[in-house]
């Protein structure tokens, strides 16, 4: 039957390469260390788990569609007006809502070569065209992003820090990018890994949102807060953007257990500090130890490292991935991010991190 005789998705939808999440199993291996999705190895705050469980007695009730208590808790934690916060089913939800609200057929949205894959998916899903700006040293290049803009550009997506590279742009650079944008172009600052960054010249973007009409910051509970399974994210934006997103979001896009766990998690700063300290220590250790093995690591400020493998038979990323998987270590292949010979490895528990170094050493020794 001719395809024209059946329902047709809007233009762009069939150009989307569906997002492939990190692998989570290693067949035949007793103990598996999943380091493929940048989840925290320390889990969520026990208080968040307790709050989640308490909701189980009221599953018949709809959640508060406005997530008011959660927005108030986030507002208190960051000193923000809760009316300028929108919560979503993960920050993915918010990125898609922003694309739907601000892009239409024929528009363009800029993202960077190794930028987070949800940006082109959200852009194409909204009928618009993703435009790729080249990176420099695996880092978003503000000049290239500015050069990639055309009169059709409506959104510029910047992951800061970026996944899967782990690199970041100093706040001065973000402000320079913003200054170059016409006022009708929305700058989306995706700060999913902000809590892990320990750099004096980094800012997630709160100040820029507070002082502009065209900047939004997205955050997630999936990383340092350890609530990826619940799907919870939030954005802070100008009142008019918040209004637009609120009009199109699902009326109950955030579920009740996520709201309860999110409130407890954002208040448990001790657990956040503990998770950040673990990450700071083991990120540095992994970077150094992988370097000592002779592999290149892109300097990361997030909770993962990007490891580059030699272009030699027996030593490639694909072969390393197969070897590591046989040892129960699951990393993320990043060919879809135009990094065919690299693997992304999340910072794990001490046991997992030590095993990574041991197994990589064995892999490279075997390859000789
Ligand atoms: C840069 C970036 N943004 C957003 C997300 C989405 O997070 P979530 O939808 O779980 O909140 C991720 C998750 O990997 C990410 O790496």
pLDDT at res. 367? 61
Please give the distance, rounded to the nearest whole angstrom, from the Cα atom of residue 194 to the centre of ligand 1. 11
**Strand 233-236 to 85-88 pairing:** antiparallel
Residue 8 near residue 191 (C-beta atoms within 8 A):
no
In ligand 1, the atom with minimum distance to the C-alpha of 93 is 9
Mean local confidence (pLDDT), 280-295? 98
Instruction: Determine the distance separating the centroid of ligand 1 and the alpha carbon of 292, expressed in angstroms.
Output: 30
User: Distance (Å, rounded) from C-alpha 326 to C-alpha 54?
Assistant: 39
Supply the residue whose CA is at minimum distance from atom 12 of ligand 1.
192
Buried b (16+ CB within 10 A) or exposed e, 223-238: bbbbbbebbbbbbbbb
Q: State pLDDT tens for residues 290-348.
A: 999 999 999 999 999 999 999 999 999 999 999 999 999 999 999 999 999 999 999 99
How do residues 9-53 score in pLDDT, each as one tens digit?
988 899 998 888 877 777 888 899 999 999 999 999 999 999 999
Position in ligand 1 atom list of the atom nearest CA 38: 14
Angle at 141 between CA 135 and CA 118, to 5 degrees: 65
Residue nearest to atom 2 of ligand 1 (CA): 192
Specify whether the CB–CB gap between 232 and 220 falls below 8 A: yes
Ligand 1 geometric centre to CA of 66 (Å) = 22
Q: Which atom of ligand 1 is nearest to the CA of 37?
A: 14
Residue 228 per-residue DSSP state: G
Q: Quick one: average pLDDT of 180-190?
A: 98
Ligand 1 center–CA 78 separation, angstroms: 20
Tokens of 249: 């979001």
> 25 vs 119, which has greater pLDDT?
119
pLDDT tens column, 205-232: 999 999 999 999 999 999 999 999 999 9
Task: Give the residue among 271, 261, 186, 199 at the shortest CA–CA distance from 231.
Answer: 261
Query: Contact at 8 Å (CB) between 348 and 35?
Result: yes
CA of 150 relative to ligand 1 center, distance in Å: 27
pLDDT over 60 (residue 368): no
Q: What is the pTM of this model?
A: 0.96
Q: 3-state class of 304 per DSSP?
A: strand
Please say if the pLDDT value at position 2 is more than 80: no
In this structure, the residue with its CA closest to atom 3 of ligand 1 is 192
Pocket of ligand 1 (CB under 6 A): 38, 90-92, 116, 159, 163, 190, 192, 220, 222, 228, 233
How many A from CA of 231 to the centre of ligand 1?
10
């Amino acid at each position: 039957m001719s395809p024209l005789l059946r329902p047709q998705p809007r233009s762009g939808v069939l150009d989307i390469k569906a997002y492939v999440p990190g692998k989570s199993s290693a067949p035949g291996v007793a103990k598996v260390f999943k380091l493929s999705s940048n989840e925290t190895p320390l889990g969520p705050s026990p208080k968040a788990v307790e709050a989640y469980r308490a909701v189980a007695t009221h599953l018949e009730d709809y959640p508060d569609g406005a997530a008011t208590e959660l927005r108030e808790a986030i507002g208190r934690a960051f000193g923000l007006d809760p009316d300028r916060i929108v919560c979503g089913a993960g920050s993915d939800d918010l990125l898609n809502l922003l694309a739907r609200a601000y892009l239409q057929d024929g528009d363009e949205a800029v993202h960077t070569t190794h930028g987070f894959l949800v940006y082109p998916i959200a852009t194409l899903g909204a009928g618009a065209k993703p435009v790729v700006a080249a990176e420099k040293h695996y880092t978003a290049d503000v000049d290239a992003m500015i050069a990639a803009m055309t009169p059709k550009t409506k959104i510029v997506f910047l992951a800061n820090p970026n996944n899967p590279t782990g690199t970041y742009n100093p706040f001065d650079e973000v402000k320079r990018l913003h200054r170059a944008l016409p006022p009708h172009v929305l700058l989306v600052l995706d700060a999913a890994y902000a809590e892990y960054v320990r750099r004096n010249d980094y800012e997630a973007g709160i100040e820029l949102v507070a002082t502009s009409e065209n900047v939004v910051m997205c955050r997630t509970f999936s990383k340092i807060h350890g609530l990826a399974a619940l799907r919870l994210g939030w954005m802070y934006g100008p009142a008019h953007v918040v209004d637009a997103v609120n009009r199109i979001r699902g009326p109950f896009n955030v579920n009740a257990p996520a709201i309860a766990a999110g409130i407890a998690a954002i208040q448990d700063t001790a657990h956040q500090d503990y998770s950040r300290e673990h990450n700071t220590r083991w990120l540095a250790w992994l970077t150094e130890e992988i370097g000592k093995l002779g592999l290149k690591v892109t300097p990361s400020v997030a909770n993962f490292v990007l490891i580059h493998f030699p272009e030699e038979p027996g030593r490639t990323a694909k072969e390393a991935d197969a070897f590591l998987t046989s040892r129960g270590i699951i990393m993320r292949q990043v060919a879809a991010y135009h990094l065919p010979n690299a693997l992304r490895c999340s910072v794990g528990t001490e046991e997992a991190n030590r095993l990574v170094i041991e197994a990589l050493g064995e892999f490279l020794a075997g390859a000789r």
